Structures are given as structure tokens and as C-alpha cells.
Amino acid sequence: MPVKEPMVVLARIGRPHGVRGGLSIDQAGENLHRFVNQKVAVCEITTGSVIGDFKTRATLTLSRVEPASGVPARIAFAEIADRDQAAALTHTTVCAPLSALRALVASGRKAPQAPLTDLWYFELIELDVVDADSQTVIGKISRIDDMGLNTVLTVTPAGGQALLAAPLDIPLSYPHWGEADLAARRVALAEWRIFADAEPI
């Protein structure tokens, strides 16, 4: 069975809005505007902003996002014409492929490197984390938990090496993260052993 490409949640769909198939949304970011007049996936609701295990309910054309700027509050799909059809999509999510979001953001970013705190969460997922001194791969960023006052990144050990014995959680605000090299999909990290029991180099 082929592995499905991860999807990024662009918004969560709430109740119908009006009688012509509009829908209220929340937890939407500005990237949603970039998909107007494009096909997006409507998926069963799940946790996290980047999802690998998902069920697609429909593939629809995003015809309108309101307001036209700022935080989106309402959407419409070209294929949804009335309130009953819209109601069937209540409590689902609007999603787009991870690769599409990365391409959109990369096209607008001037520098090939950036601090982690300047990146979207979906850009952080699957970044290789390397030891700042040896440049050996420690693992990959596999999960992001937004705790409100702090954001925690989970680094999962890379196969075939012994620097990291088990997953470790490190705050995004930890001062020893380097800038992310987005072309190479990697970021250096120093002073990380205080977060985990690691095997000696």
C-alpha cells in the first residue's frame, strides 16, 4: 500500500453560514487565502496541524474565503450550493498536502536559512536535527505540541546511530537551536544532552 503524503490542516469547519452553502471556520491561518480557486481536501477531524493518518471526506474547490484579508472566518466551496450540503461537512477539516504548503512558503522566503521561531509548524516537521559539534544526525522533528505559553518539539532518534537512545522533547524557545537550513532540511542543535540520556559519542 503506498504511503500517503502528510496533510496540513488549514482550518476546522464549523456550522453552516447562510442558506447558500457557506461554512463558518475556526483555527484558520492566513495560508488558507492562498488556496482560493484551488482543490483542497476535506478530511475527518483529527489532532495536530500536520497529519499522516487521515480520512478524506471529499475533494472540493475552495471558492471563497471571508474576510478577504486577516483571520478567515467563513468559506464556501464551488460544489456546495445549499445549507443541507454544507451541514454534511460540519466538524471536518480543510487540508492541503504538506509539499504544497512548503512550496508556497518557500517561494515567498528570500533567505535559505531562518530561525526556527520564524517557521510555520509544518516546515518544522521532519527536519533533520544534527549535533552542532559533530554534525551527526541526532534524529528528526516528529511532533509539535503548542502548550500556549510554550511550544515543544519532539525529536525522534535517527536509525543507525547511537547519539540518541529515545525521543526527547525540547522547547522551541531553547536558545541552542541553530538556524534551519531549509534547502538541506536540517537544523543544528547544541547542549541537547540535558534533555535525554544519550549514549556517548
What is the structure's pLDDT at 191?
93
Q: State the Cα–Cα distance between residues 132 and 124, nearest whole angstrom.
A: 17
Q: State the Cα–Cα distance between residues 151 and 41, nearest whole angstrom.
A: 27
Q: Length of the chain, please? A: 201
What is the structure's pLDDT at 6?
84
CATH of 7-105, one of 3.40.190.150, 3.50.50.60, 3.40.50.150, 2.40.30.60: 2.40.30.60
- The model carries a pTM of 0.69
Q: Is the dihedral of CA 169, 173, 178, 181 positive or negative?
A: positive
What is the structure's pLDDT at 161?
63
Tell me, rounded to whole angstroms, the distance of Cα 73 from its chain centroid: 20
What is the structure's pLDDT at 84?
93
What is the structure's pLDDT at 141?
93
- 152-168: b (≥16 Cβ within 10 Å) or e: ebebbbbeeeebbeeeb
14-66 pLDDT, tens digit each: 999 988 899 999 888 778 998 999 999 999 987 767 777 788 999 999 999 99
What is the structure's pLDDT at 162?
64
Q: Which fold has domain 109-193?
A: SH3 type barrels. (2.30.30)
What is the structure's pLDDT at 28?
84
Intervals of the chain under pLDDT 70: 1-3, 48, 148, 160-162, 197-201
In the block, cell 491561518 appears at 29
What is the structure's pLDDT at 160?
66
What is the structure's pLDDT at 3?
57
Is residue 142 within 8 Å of 167, Cβ to Cβ?
Answer: yes
Q: State the Cα–Cα distance between residues 111 and 144, nearest whole angstrom.
A: 24
- Where helices occur in 41-180 by DSSP H, the ranges are 83-87, 98-108, 121-124
Which DSSP state fits 80? -
What is the structure's pLDDT at 199?
45
The amino acid that residue 22 corresponds to is G
Domain ranges of the chain: 7-105, 109-193
